[in-house]
Chains A and B, each alone.
Chain A
Amino acid sequence: MSEPESRVDPADSAIDRTRLSDLVGGNPDKIERYLTMFIDVTATSLSQLSDAVARRDTEGVRRLAHKIKGSCSMVGAAGLAAIAGDMERLALGGQLDGIPQLHARLQTAFDATRTAVGQAETATP
């Protein structure tokens, strides 16, 4: 049995909630609300990124990776931001060879993040 999460480097999927907490003035409701929003918008961006990768659309990959990097940076998902940043750099240099591997790593790490956020929400009364 091999769940995708078991292969994830924890550093890739971790979220430092203090960053988001600082941004929203420590309001726990807002932290949860924005984390849920982050998960939704990033899931959509990742789906669009999959299409761009499949089309070998370098500019599309660059733009979407940049967008994901920005969102991840805002909520303290430094590991996800770093992978997206690597994708952006490769796409900017026109190098598509390493993109599918990074994309798979990003998707796997994001799935683990989504699971962790969902579990935290369930645990919150």
Chain B
Amino acid sequence: MTTTALQASLPVIVLIDDDGFGVQMLDELIQGFSDTTKICHTDPIEAMKWIDRHGADVVITDYDMPGANGIDLIKHLRGRPATSDVPILMITSIEDPAIRLSALDAGASDFITKPFESPEVRARVRNMLALRAGQKSLKQRAETLSAEVAATVRSITAREQETILRLARAAEYRDSDTRAHLRRLAETPGSSPVD
């Protein structure tokens, strides 16, 4: 059901809450983000497997879930290169400050307690999508630069090898003018090989 949208490279928001009603409400909350793909999960283990396979651009998760709680999920995602910097928002009705701190320590990007103000949550999700877009753009730029540097290094190496080859050929003549000849060749990289 999501293949087409995923192929279209729309940002993917993954929603995780073991309560079916809860996840449906979260899905409704972000309905306005029409240029995204929303994936809902009620099983945190399945959610982790799905994200491992397909990736995610923003993750919104509950805390209190059977099998793996929200902090387990955050630790799992942060431990993998593909999701180490994906923005993660935890939304829960648990008010315990220790859990909030643990979630943030584990790598949650933000933490919201129910009941929440819907416009505020949407604004935070929007910021997370913008942050993710920035991360992807930077990564793409770094990859482009890295490719350009690699191409330049290959070109310089090829030229150096060509120069050494020409010097070697020149040295084979062993005539009295070899030293001067090598100097002239060194100063004229584009000159033709000596026959």
**Chain A interfacial positions (CB closer than 8 Å to B):** 19, 22-25, 30, 34, 37-38, 41, 63, 66-67, 69-71, 73-74, 76, 78, 81, 85
Contact = CB atoms under 8 A, between A and B. Distances in A.
B19 A22 contact: no
Nearest to B21: A41
Interface string B111-150: 0001101110000000000000000000000000000000
- Counting contact residues on chain B (CB < 8 A from A), the size range is 20 to 34
B31 A81 contact: no
Contacts of B81: none
B29 interface: yes
B94 interface: yes
B115 A37 contact: no
Contact of A74 (B31, B32, B115, B117): B115
Contact of B21 (A22, A30, A37, A81): A37
B31 A71 contact: no
A69 B114 CA distance: 9
B64 interface: yes
B22 to A, nearest CB: 6
B28 A70 contact: no
B93 A41 contact: no
Contacts of B68: none
B22 A25 contact: no
A22 B119 contact: yes
B64 A66 contact: yes
